């Protein structure tokens, strides 16, 4: 005995109908083509064409064996057979009665028959065949353009939402980590979907719409799937861009169809990902209120405010731009609850790493808490990518498990960019890069309230010739004035080291200057951290992004105020530049030692930097390979298959 639910049965019927419609279209096209070609080929298959005078010559020469005369409305067809068995065909406008005498005189057998006219069906196919063929081809291509809707070639208004039932959705809250507050916010949705009477008997009303807000990669879609998986209800998933098509009114029709499907499967969840694609402020388009996107938004507003709450349909949406959504979407009765899914803290990152590390074999030395502290600002997607990159590094060295060293390499690749060891740098430029990065590291160690230096390298990574990476000891949610001033000094350390030790200036410090100037400007114009201008805001961050940068709108200021702002910014930059230069000039021995270590080892970490700052010779890195090929701890070098030293 076979059992299936209604969704599986409907899906099977839809697949069969779609397969049948495809086959039917091709059968019709093939039938029309066959009939047309058969009609044109019918005359040619009955014999070779011959002129009437030539046919009479053949009769008189006694080379014709038999003749069949076919009379019709458009003339007479003469089908002849020669003595050697060849077939001949002669077309005459009318039947020559003297031909009968010639045939009898020359002993040719003949017969007279009416012409075989094609049937009515064949005539219809020949007449309408080309038109039917064009219509069939047009329907087929239109269907392909619309993605082959479920309801046939003209199903433009059908919803593209993908449904996951409880059998296909195994995601639960156990698969979601790092957002405990968000899970607590949505747990009552699970209780409502499981037992709606618990809330309705007290007069309570569950929110009709829940908006998940947070940066990209924080797990908004995963959280929505987990709610459906916990409640064991169908989950309709669609993107905001799936509503709008090239035809006017298609988006609104798809919204109506999506809600109709959801009502039939209630209780369920409708999840609209990237709702800002259709939910932007209305009235901004060139077409006013007749814009297709705005029509789609209007229909969504009507549907959300139109169905009854006891139907058990909850609409969830995700966006990382809640500021651009139309206010009508956020009013009570629609998306009246906002759940913030923020970047995870150190404890959340540890939980996320434990979830993703279940899928890969890890070694005994893996410490998720250490990895969590070393990945500040990482989202859930970034941590998943970290685990995947570590597994790839382990596979490259043919390891059986993923070790801590693989995670360190993966973290360096994600945070600093991939290594470009094949890049050949001139020795002078390599030396300049070593002093540049040493300048950043030295100032970072000596300035107060700076993040600890984790690693310094002169190996080109990404678009940088060298990288100085600092990692905060704890998660930080705000910055104070002293920390921002120290950051400006650290940014100037690279250029100052070039001037002091290499007697030159290069373009490598351009990004450092840009960041330092931006921090100083924000201190003056946005944060009110100066005594000269006081606690007043002189710029407004619009939050808009143009060419990858946040657009800042400057408020109206007098010319005198603008000059004062520029002078205060310049004073901050000059003061921090002087502090950084003094630190570097007073510690030239440490700068020489750090640059020498970078040129020799290419990469040094906090242990080597501690040795240098305490006046000791820096210890070799743990995985450093000596020029002879052996490891720094005395072990022989690893050898590849061709006998050359293997890459680390």
Cα–Cα distance, 354 to 348 (Å, whole number):
10
Catalytic option among 245, 437, 498, 602: 437
- Residue linked to tokens 């004073």: 571
- How far is Cα of residue 446 from the mean position of the Cα atoms in its chain? 43
* DSSP H stretches of helix in 152-195: 180-194
Residue 493 in domain: yes
Asked whether residue 239 falls in the same domain as residue 129, the answer is: no
Q: What is the domain range of residue 31?
A: 6-41+121-145
Active site residue 58: no
Residue 104 in domain: yes
Residue ending a domain, among 286, 305, 340, is 340
Asked whether residue 127 falls in the same domain as residue 183, the answer is: no
Burial class (CB in 10 A: 0-12, 13-18, 19+), 498: buried
Cα–Cα distance, 158 to 243 (Å, whole number):
10
Asked whether residue 78 falls in the same domain as residue 186, the answer is: no
Task: Compute how many other C-beta atoms are within 10 angstroms of the C-beta atom of residue 472.
Answer: 15
CATH number, residue 382: 1.10.8.60
Residue 422 in domain: no
Asked whether residue 34 falls in the same domain as residue 77, the answer is: no
Identify whether the C-beta of residue 393 lies closer than 8 Å to the C-beta of residue 406.
Answer: yes
- The total domain count for the chain is 5
Q: Mean pLDDT, 10 residues at a time, over the chain (648 residues)?
A: 42 53 67 62 56 77 79 70 79 67 75 67 68 74 55 52 68 82 82 75 75 89 86 84 69 81 82 86 57 79 68 84 86 84 89 91 89 88 92 92 91 83 82 93 92 88 83 82 94 94 89 93 91 83 44 66 92 95 94 92 89 88 56 36 31
Asked whether residue 552 falls in the same domain as residue 590, the answer is: yes
Query: For residue 163, which phi and psi values (nearest 5 degrees)?
Result: -100, 135
Asked whether residue 453 falls in the same domain as residue 547, the answer is: yes
Asked whether residue 442 falls in the same domain as residue 587, the answer is: yes
Residue ending a domain, among 340, 359, 389, is 340
Residue 626 in domain: no
Residue 632 in domain: no
Residue 381 in domain: yes
Asked whether residue 287 falls in the same domain as residue 364, the answer is: no
Asked whether residue 458 falls in the same domain as residue 582, the answer is: yes
Residue 21 in domain: yes
Nearest to 295 by CA among 306, 282, 305, 308: 282
CATH number, residue 85: 3.30.720.210
Identify whether the C-beta of residue 439 lies closer than 8 Å to the C-beta of residue 582.
Answer: no
Asked whether residue 262 falls in the same domain as residue 330, the answer is: yes
Residue 466 in domain: yes
Residue ending a domain, among 290, 306, 340, is 340
Asked whether residue 489 falls in the same domain as residue 514, the answer is: yes
Asked whether residue 262 falls in the same domain as residue 290, the answer is: yes
């Amino acid at each position: 005995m076979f059992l299936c639910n209604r969704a599986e049965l409907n899906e099977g019927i839809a697949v069969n109908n779609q397969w049948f419609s495809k086959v039917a279209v091709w059968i019709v096209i093939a039938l029309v083509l066959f009939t047309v070609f058969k009609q044109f080929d019918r005359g040619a298959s009955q014999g070779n064409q011959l002129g009437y005078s030539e046919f009479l010559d053949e009769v008189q020469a006694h080379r014709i064996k038999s003749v069949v005369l076919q009379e019709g409305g458009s003339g007479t067809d003469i089908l002849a057979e020669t003595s050697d068995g060849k077939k001949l065909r002669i077309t005459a406008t009318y039947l020559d009665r003297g031909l009968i005498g010639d045939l009898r005189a020359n002993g040719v057998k003949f017969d007279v028959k009416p012409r075989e006219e094609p049937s009515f069906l064949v005539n219809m196919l020949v007449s309408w065949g080309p038109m039917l063929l064009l219509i069939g081809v047009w329907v087929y291509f239109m269907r392909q353009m619309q993605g082959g809707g479920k309801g046939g070639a003209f199903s433009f208004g059908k919803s593209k939402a993908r449904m996951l039932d409880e059998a296909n959705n195994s995601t639960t809250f156990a698969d979601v980590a790092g957002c405990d507050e968000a899970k607590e916010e949505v747990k009552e949705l699970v209780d409502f979907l499981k037992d709606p009477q618990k809330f309705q008997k007290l007069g309570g009303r569950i929110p009709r719409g829940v908006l998940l807000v947070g940066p990209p990669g924080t797990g908004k879609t995963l959280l929505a799937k987990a709610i459906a998986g916990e409640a064991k209800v169908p989950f309709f998933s669609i993107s905001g861009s799936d509503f709008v098509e090239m035809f006017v009114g298609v988006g609104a029709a798809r919204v109506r169809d999506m809600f109709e499907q959801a009502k039939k499967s209630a209780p369920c969840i409708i999840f609209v990902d990237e709702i800002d694609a259709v939910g932007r402020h209305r009235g901004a388009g060139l077409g006013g209120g007749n814009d297709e996107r705005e029509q789609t938004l209007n229909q969504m507003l009507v549907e959300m405010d139109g169905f009854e709450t006891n139907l058990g349909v909850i609409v969830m949406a995700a966006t990382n731009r809640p500021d651009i959504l139309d206010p009508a979407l956020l009013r009570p009765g629609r998306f009246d609850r906002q759940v913030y899914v923020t970047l995870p803290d150190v404890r959340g990152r540890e939980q996320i790493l434990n979830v993703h590390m279940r899928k890969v074999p890890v070694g005994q030395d893996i410490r998720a808490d250490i990895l969590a502290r070393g990945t500040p600002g990482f989202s859930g997607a970034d941590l998943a990518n970290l685990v995947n990159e570590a597994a790839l590094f382990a596979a490259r060295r043919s390891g059986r498990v993923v070790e801590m060293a693989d995670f360190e390499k993966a973290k360096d690749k994600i945070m600093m960019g991939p290594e470009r060891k094949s890049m050949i740098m001139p020795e002078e430029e390599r030396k300049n890069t070593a002093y540049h990065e040493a300048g950043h590291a030295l100032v970072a160690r000596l300035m107060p309230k700076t993040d600890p230096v984790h690693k310094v390298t002169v190996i080109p990574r990404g678009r940088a010739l060298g990288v100085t990476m600092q990692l905060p000891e704890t998660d930080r949610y705000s910055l104070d004035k002293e920390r921002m001033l120290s950051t400006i000094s650290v940014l100037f350390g690279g250029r100052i080291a070039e001037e002091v030790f290499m007697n030159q200036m290069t373009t490598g410090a351009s990004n450092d200057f840009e960041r330092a100037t931006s921090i100083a400007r924000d201190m003056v114009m946005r944060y009110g951290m100066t005594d000269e201008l006081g606690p007043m805001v002189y710029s407004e961050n619009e939050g808009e992004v143009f060419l990858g940068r946040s657009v800042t709108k400057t408020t109206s200021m007098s010319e005198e105020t603008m000059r004062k702002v520029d002078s205060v910014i310049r004073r901050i930059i000059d003061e921090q530049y002087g502090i950084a230069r003094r630190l570097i000039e007073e510690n030239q021995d440490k700068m020489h030692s750090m640059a020498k270590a970078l040129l020799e080892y290419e990469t040094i970490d906090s242990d080597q930097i501690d040795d240098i700052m305490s006046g000791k010779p820096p210890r070799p890195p743990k995985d450093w390979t000596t020029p002879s090929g052996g490891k720094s701890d005395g072990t022989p070098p690893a050898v590849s298959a061709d006998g050359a030293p293997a890459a680390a």
